[in-house]
Amino acid sequence: MNYPLIDLVFLVVKGVYILAFFAVNAMFLIWLERKVSAKVQNRLGPMVVGPHGSLQLIADTVKLLLKENIVPSSADRFVWWLAPFFVAVPTIAAFLCVPFSNVWIVRDLNVGVLFICSITSVCVLGVFMAGWGSNNKYSLLGGMRAAAQIISYEVPLLLSVLVIIMEAGTLSMQGIVHAQEAGLFLLKPNVMVAFLVYLISATAEVNRVPFDIPEAESELVSGYHTEYSGMKFAMFFLAEYANLFIISAVAATLFLGGWIGFFRPSAVWFLLKVYGIISFLMWVRWTLPRVRMDQMMAFAWKILTPIALVNILVTGLLLVLKG
């Protein structure tokens, strides 16, 4: 059975659905972040537009869409213009391999984990382009910090993901979920350590507190997107939250069993797990101060990477012993 046209139509429909989810989800996350921060700080957060400010994001999006797009006169226009796409497009692409339920996945690639990890790393290029193209010293510093940070945190991130791959024996996202149907990986101590390492390095990957060094409002004003306004800024903003969703989705799939739950539809379980992780990361964000650049690098290379390496060794030993 081979109907290429129908396949194509299905792909397009799925693509549209992914795009819609990308935007709506990011808006929801922004609202959630505002509400969580308000709760932490004994405030109420947005309350005026819609019930409990739920329509605030629509108002904000309309505002950002209608805003004038200001281009700095001395910016490198081509690079500057291209940068938001380099940040947003890989993020959207990463949604391709996110298993929302046992059937809801655009393409279950057999190298799914690898695909997500590699395509999200392309974002760093966009961030650096934004920093360079803005021709602003603060932005440049932010871009350079981002490049260094994301590249160095990729190492412990992948090493911790490796543990799961070893346990599951597959790189496919669905395959990893299926492997957990017998019992969550997280119950094993070595996977717990890997989960911790993953969460920390994933936080650093998406530039969130305590690793929001590229943005670092109190130091670099706003880092690489200082000069962006209007829709271009919105793309950075949406991509940031979409990235947050991606890392949480990967965490949920790899460590918490993805869509496995007690009842159907299984997508509910997946989203519950993802938003649970996101809420926790938000809680962390509104609690902790920021670490310094060199301390963060030292943390990645001197603490996280050795832990992850030892963890892999232990996992391998355990697997061998188990036969």
- Candidates 4-12, 54-62, 226-234, 283-291: pick the segment binding another protein (CB under 8 A): 283-291
Q: For the CB of residue 323, give the shortest distance to another protein in the complex, in Å.
A: 31
Q: For the CB of residue 291, give the shortest distance to another protein in the complex, in Å.
A: 5
Side chain identity at residue 290, one-letter code = R
Could you tell me the end-to-end alpha-carbon distance of the chain, in angstroms, rounded to an integer?
Answer: 40
In order of 24, 33, 222, 235, the CA distances from 27 in angstroms are: 5, 10, 20, 12
- Candidates 77-85, 172-180, 234-242, 277-285: pick the segment binding another protein (CB under 8 A): 277-285
- The correct pick among 28, 290, 297, 309 for binding another protein (CB under 8 A) is 290
Give the footprint of another protein on residues 30-49 (CB under 8 A).
37-44, 47
Give the footprint of another protein on residues 198-227 (CB under 8 A).
209-210, 212-213, 216-221
Q: Is 294 in the site for another protein (CB under 8 A)?
A: yes
**99 versus 133: smaller Cβ distance to another protein:** 133
Contact 248, 278 (CB under 8 A): yes
Q: Which two tokens stand for residue 6?
A: 């129908």
- Number of continuous H segments (helices) and E segments (strands) in the chain: 13, 0
- What is the size of the binding site for another protein (CB under 8 A)? 36
CA–CA distance, 164 with 319 (Å, rounded to integer) = 12
Alpha carbon 255 to chain centroid, angstroms: 15
Q: Is 303 in the site for another protein (CB under 8 A)?
A: yes
Q: Which two tokens stand for residue 173?
A: 């996202």
Axis-axis angle for helices 77-94, 123-133 (nearest 10): 160
CA–CA distance, 202 with 250 (Å, rounded to integer) = 10
Eight-state DSSP code of residue 261: -
**100 versus 299: smaller Cβ distance to another protein:** 299
Contact characters 87-116, another protein, x per CB under 8 A: ------------------------------
Contact characters 138-157, another protein, x per CB under 8 A: x--x----------------
**2 versus 42: smaller Cβ distance to another protein:** 42
Taking phi first (over 0 means left), then psi (-120 to 50 degrees means alpha), and beta for anything else, what does residue 249 get? alpha
Q: For the CB of residue 212, give the shortest distance to another protein in the complex, in Å.
A: 7
Q: Which two tokens stand for residue 143?
A: 């871009």
Q: Which residues bind another protein (CB under 8 A)?
A: 37-44, 47, 137-138, 141, 209-210, 212-213, 216-221, 283-295, 303
